[in-house]
Amino acid sequence: MSRLPRSPIIEMADGAGGKASRRLVEGTIVPLLGDAWKGTLADSAVLDIGPGRLAMTTDAFVVRPLRFPGGSIGELAVNGTVNDLAMAGAGPVALVAALVIEEGTAVETVEAELRALGEAAGRAGVPVVGGDTKVVEHGKGDGLYVSTTGLGRVLEGVALGPDRVREGDRVLLSGPIGDHGITILLARGEVDLEADLRSDSRPVWPLVRPLLEEDPGAVRWLRDPTRGGVASALNELARDRGLAVVLEEAAIPVREPVRGACELLGLDPLHVANEGQFLAVVAPGAADRLLDRLRSIPGGEGAAIVGTLREGPARAVLAETPYGGTRIVDLLEGDPLPRIC
């Protein structure tokens, strides 16, 4: 029953809505999603989700190369979206996915990404309930773009947002930073560097949920430091809340190859993207307990308290060195570019 399209590459007909399209969706996409597929191929998925508050988010995934050590676009498309839900204190309930495939892309590539998407959804415990596929002309896309929309249920008693953050609150970081961004930079091959490094792409809800359950009132703000890194995420908080975030530079976990690549290319690990970490601002009295809780969860061993909310300088992020120096940690202007001076 799962007959593949005859051509080894995707053709315009595969997205034209006719027989080939149907063959692609029913014969390839749906079977490859495996157990994660809970859809019906109707125009809309209908969900019975009961009471409570819902969180909803959408994200478009564009990455070159499509596969890289530790992950691929199909996996990112699930983790990125369920992590955005987690940052609202929500566990994932359902996901829909849209694929934009470039004509000429190997069917094999598409299959591998669908498998990755299905497996990631399985790991994150979220059903895929619908989707869409379009094919664009050769040269009009990087092989494959994936967009996912996620629906989640907010855990009871959780209230998150910059307005809840107070002076004196502590900043918790779930693990070492920069693995994803540096892995991608190296995987592109443009800087001719090699390292034993993998993307940190993973769903963070299994780490976030126990913290929220432990003490829902003590967790005040959550953010996953994806593009723009920790610096961007915390600058947004500082700006939204009108306080200063003061980081303790020596407390920020960074793996050796990330540090090495950053020293070599003149980048700041605080600007480098992550796909499996989160920042939590927590009440000062609960910080140590929540850190211990996080560290006790598999995957949370590398967590650390990395900073404190202070009154001023307002709307700024600072890094303090162990010998008392401070510097402003600014937003990055555009993508990180390797520099030689």
Interface residue list for other proteins (CB under 8 A): 176, 186, 190-196, 249-257, 259-266, 269, 302, 313, 316, 319-328, 330, 333-334, 337-341
User: Minimum CB separation from other proteins for residue 203, in Å?
Assistant: 21
Which residue number, 144 or 244, has a Cβ lying nearer to other proteins? Answer: 244
Residue 217 in tokens: 């009132």
User: Minimum CB separation from other proteins for residue 325, in Å?
Assistant: 2
d(CA 282, CA 227): 23
Which residue number, 91 or 225, has a Cβ lying nearer to other proteins? Answer: 225
User: Minimum CB separation from other proteins for residue 317, in Å?
Assistant: 11
d(CA 239, CA 260): 31
Which residue number, 255 or 293, has a Cβ lying nearer to other proteins? Answer: 255
Fill in the amino acid letter for 99: L
User: Minimum CB separation from other proteins for residue 230, in Å?
Assistant: 12
Q: Can you give the length of the chain in residues?
A: 341
Q: What angle do CA 288, 292, 298 make, to 5 degrees?
A: 150
d(CA 225, CA 213): 22
User: Minimum CB separation from other proteins for residue 41, in Å?
Assistant: 40
User: Minimum CB separation from other proteins for residue 299, in Å?
Assistant: 13
**C-alpha 93 chain-centroid distance:** 17
Which residue number, 158 or 251, has a Cβ lying nearer to other proteins? Answer: 251
- DSSP string spanning 281-309? EE-GGGHHHHHHHHHTSTT-TT-EEEEEE
User: Minimum CB separation from other proteins for residue 255, in Å?
Assistant: 6
User: Minimum CB separation from other proteins for residue 239, in Å?
Assistant: 13
Starting at the edge strand found earlier in the chain, the sheet holding 304-310 runs 219-223, 279-282, 170-173, 304-310, 244-248, 317-320, 326-328
Which residue number, 59 or 330, has a Cβ lying nearer to other proteins? Answer: 330
Q: Which residues, at least 6 apart from 11, have a Cβ–Cβ distance to it below 8 Å?
A: 5, 20, 103, 135
Which residue number, 49 or 250, has a Cβ lying nearer to other proteins? Answer: 250
Q: Count CB neighbours of 143 within 10 A.
A: 19
Q: What angle do CA 270, 151, 181 make, to 5 degrees?
A: 20
User: Minimum CB separation from other proteins for residue 192, in Å?
Assistant: 6
Which residue number, 48 or 333, has a Cβ lying nearer to other proteins? Answer: 333
d(CA 231, CA 273): 10
279 beta partners: 173, 223
Is-contact 85 55, C-beta < 8 A?
yes
Which residue number, 41 or 328, has a Cβ lying nearer to other proteins? Answer: 328
Which residue number, 159 or 264, has a Cβ lying nearer to other proteins? Answer: 264
284 in helix, strand or coil?
Answer: helix
d(CA 292, CA 303): 9
